[in-house]
């Protein structure tokens, strides 16, 4: 009898471990209809840069702010500033940094770090395309 | 009584002991016989007479071996059963009871509205860099279906049909979508809903109209007679041609003003349930009559004018909402739409009754 009990519980333990591994690691639940704040940081950054580039085209600051609001950040200018400074610190693509600086500047957040960078990368002495 | 009760269990014990001893004796006997049989079968001499008695002996030997076989510690069938049940249980736990926490979501997992916003962002970036391949890759990653470009057209159509198109920002965004899908030969209703003329500066010409019979607004302002009016034409529309929507506007002073929403208050009262009250004032705080106010919702829109309830003030107008519907409000051509919706949501009054939330929207002319 103990042989059967041992086999059953041993098998159950092994199976449970395998099932949890499969369910949590190998094939975890994939959520749909997720809210934007749950986006991975990489995609939040991508989204912000796309909005910043759109802002360079149309100069629509309220539109840019309302679009970034989709990420439900507490303070949009501060969020853009932080993203911009992180991009500068990590030496990301100049094009992205330029767009972010323009948006951050339009939101009144031109920090010394951005100022220095802006002078280096901004074409012909400043932001353009509605950044102001 | 006590003695009898104490003696009772002794009987089965003795029986059990006896039967165990019998079993042991029988097993020993069988083993001996089996050993003998094995010895006989391996002896080369006199094979013929042994064969006659071999069959029952072998059978007994086989039976004996079943009991003699050494047992494994694990019962494999039971263990396999346990593993299967364990895997099923583990998957149930991992998927239903304690699923992994949601983090690091990818854009394709976003809900419909937010995915549409992400598409808008992709299109805005496309307008900036004109990199079609990048934009297309982003759309494919969003898992929009077999034809992501047509999906963009559909999203543009959805956005154009809602209050999203009420703002200039929204219109510009929809236009960026149209600029992407139209050259690719896709079509969508946004092309009709957001005419190209909106984003372009409409040429304005001045003509003299002899009869002022053109769409008099519900206004308390005296209608001017024979005065020049401003006609805003869309490209391709010849001035004077009859259209369903003539672009003629009365040149009241208010049209030269731009208005902003300065405040929105809510209240909950049974007698004015679900009412949008609008107050339009100039920069000095004076109430302005005859000002158009537009309310939009999913299925349509309504334009009404201030000053129709002089008892409530010259700059007053109201609109009755339907419960459960969301509205956006603006002054057409005079203000940007309020980016948040006014929800006709249920609320509880002070007396505990249920009503629909009402709003007071304050427009003020920019100085």
Q: Domain segments of chain B: what residues?
A: 107-193, 259-365
Q: How far apart are CA A55 and CA A64, in angstroms?
A: 6
- H or E element at residue A121: helix A112-121
Q: pLDDT band at B209, cuts 50/70/90?
A: very low
pLDDT higher than 50, residue A130: no
Task: Report the DSSP pairing between strands B316-320 and B346-348.
Answer: unpaired
Which residues in chain A are closer than 8 Å to B99, comparing Cβ atoms? 23, 28-29
B340 vs A: CB within 8 A: no
SS3 state of residue B225: coil
Lowest-confidence segment of A13-22, A96-105, B211-220 by average pLDDT: B211-220
Q: pLDDT band at B283, cuts 50/70/90?
A: confident
Share of chain B residues as helix, strand and coil, in percent rounded to the nearest 5: 45, 20, 35
Neighbours of A4 (CB within 10 A): 14
Q: How far apart are CA B87 and CA A19, in angstroms?
A: 4
- Contact status, residue B332 vs residue B319, Cβ threshold 8 Å: no
Query: Phi and psi at residue B302, in whole multiples of 5°?
Result: -145, 135
Q: How far apart are CA B131 and CA B128, in angstroms?
A: 8
SS3 state of residue B44: coil
Selected residues 42-101 of chain A with any CB under 8 Å from a CB in chain B: 43, 47, 49-51, 53-58, 60, 62-63, 66-67, 70, 95, 99
Q: Which residue has the higher pLDDT, B248 or A1?
A: A1
Closest CA to B199 of B162, B230, B235: B235
* C-alpha distances out from residue A109 to A67, A117, B112, Å: 18, 14, 32
- Of B76, B100, B339, nearest to A66 by CB-CB distance is B339
Q: Which CATH number fits domain B259-365: 2.60.40.10, 3.40.50.12780, 2.40.440.10, 3.40.50.720?
A: 2.60.40.10
B69 vs A: CB within 8 A: no
Which residues in chain B are closer than 8 Å to A3, comparing Cβ atoms? 71, 73-75
pLDDT in tens, A72-127: 888 899 999 999 999 999 988 888 999 999 999 998 888 888 888 877 765 544 44
Report the predicted TM-score, pTM, of the whole model to 2 decimal places.
0.48
- Residue of chain B nearest A28, judged by CA positions: B100
Q: Vertex A12, ends A11 and A14: CA angle to 5°?
A: 65
SS3 state of residue B318: strand
Residue positions counted in chain A: 132
Residue bearing tokens 């029986």: B15
- Of B82, B103, B111, nearest to A7 by CB-CB distance is B82
Cβ burial, residue A21 (10 Å; 0-12/13-18/19+) = middle
Considering chain A, what is the average pLDDT of its residues?
85
- Contact status, residue B275 vs residue B319, Cβ threshold 8 Å: yes
pLDDT in tens, B114-155: 899 999 999 999 999 888 888 989 998 888 888 889 999 999
Closest CA to B104 of A21, A28, A70, A128: A28
Q: Which residue has the higher pLDDT, A27 or B63?
A: A27
Selected residues 25-44 of chain A with any CB under 8 Å from a CB in chain B: 28-36, 38-40, 43
Region B5-17: mean pLDDT is: 52
Selected residues 114-173 of chain B with any CB under 8 Å from a CB in chain A: 114, 117-118, 120-122, 124-125, 127-129, 167-170, 172-173
SS3 state of residue B249: strand
Q: How far apart are CA B286 and CA B315, in angstroms?
A: 8
- Residue of chain A nearest B112, judged by CA positions: A33
Residues 6+ apart with CB under 8 A from B13: none
Q: pLDDT band at A47, cuts 50/70/90?
A: very high
Q: Which residue has the higher pLDDT, B344 or B254?
A: B344
Q: Helices marked H in chain A — which ranges?
A: 2-21, 41-58, 61-68, 76-89, 94-106, 112-121
Cross-chain residue pair A70–B114, CB shorter than 8 Å: yes
């Amino acid at each position: 009898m103990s042989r059967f009990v041992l086999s059953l519980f041993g098998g159950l333990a092994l199976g449970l471990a395998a099932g949890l591994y499969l369910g949590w690691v190998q094939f975890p639940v994939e959520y749909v209809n997720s809210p934007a704040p749950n986006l991975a940081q990489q995609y939040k950054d991508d989204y912000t840069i796309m909005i910043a580039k759109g802002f360079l085209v149309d100069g629509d600051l309220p539109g840019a702010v309302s679009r970034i609001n989709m990420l439900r950040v507490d303070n949009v200018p501060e969020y853009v500033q932080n993203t911009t400074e992180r991009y500068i610190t990590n030496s990301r693509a100049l094009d992205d940094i330029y767009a972010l600086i323009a948006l951050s500047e339009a939101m009144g957040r031109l920090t010394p770090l951005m100022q220095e960078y802006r002078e280096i990368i901004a074409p012909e002495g400043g932001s353009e395309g509605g950044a102001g | 009584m006590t003695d009898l009760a104490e003696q009772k269990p002794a009987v089965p014990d003795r029986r059990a002991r006896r039967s165990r001893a019998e079993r042991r004796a029988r097993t020993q006997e069988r083993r001996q016989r089996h050993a003998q049989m094995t010895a006989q079968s391996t002896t080369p001499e006199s094979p013929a007479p042994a064969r006659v008695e071999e069959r029952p002996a072998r059978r007994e030997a086989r039976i004996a071996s079943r009991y003699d076989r050494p047992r494994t510690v694990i019962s494999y069938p039971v263990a396999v059963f346990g593993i299967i049940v364990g895997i099923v249980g583990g998957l149930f736990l991992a998927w239903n009871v304690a699923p992994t926490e949601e983090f690091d979501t990818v854009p394709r997992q976003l809900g419909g509205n937010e995915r549409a916003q992400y598409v808008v962002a992709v299109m805005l970036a496309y307008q900036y860099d004109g990199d079609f391949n990048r934009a297309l890759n982003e759309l494919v990653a969003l898992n929009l279906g077999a034809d992501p470009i047509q999906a963009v057209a559909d999203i543009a159509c959805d956005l154009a049909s809602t209050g999203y198109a009420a703002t200039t920002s929204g219109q510009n965004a929809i236009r960026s979508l149209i600029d992407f899908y139209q050259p690719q030969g896709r079509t969508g209703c946004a092309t009709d809903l957001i005419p190209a003329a909106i984003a372009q500066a409409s040429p304005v010409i001045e003509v003299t109209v002899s009869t002022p019979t053109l769409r008099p607004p519900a206004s308390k302002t005296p209608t001017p007679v024979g005065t020049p009016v401003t006609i805003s034409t869309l490209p391709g529309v010849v001035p004077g041609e009859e259209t369903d929507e003539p672009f003629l506007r009365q040149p009241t002073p208010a049209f030269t003003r731009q208005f902003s929403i300065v405040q929105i208050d809510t209240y909950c009262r049974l007698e004015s349930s679900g009412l949008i009250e609008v107050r339009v004032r100039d920069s000095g705080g004076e109430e302005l009559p005859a000002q158009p106010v537009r309310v939009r919702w999913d299925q349509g829109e309504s334009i009404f004018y201030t000053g129709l309830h002089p008892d409530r003030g010259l700059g007053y107008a109201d609109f009755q909402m339907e419960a459960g519907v969301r509205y956006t409000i603006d002054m057409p051509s005079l203000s940007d739409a309020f980016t948040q919706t006014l929800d006709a949501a249920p609320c509880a009054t002070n007396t505990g009754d249920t009503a629909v939330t009402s709003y007071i929207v304050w427009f003020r002319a920019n100085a």
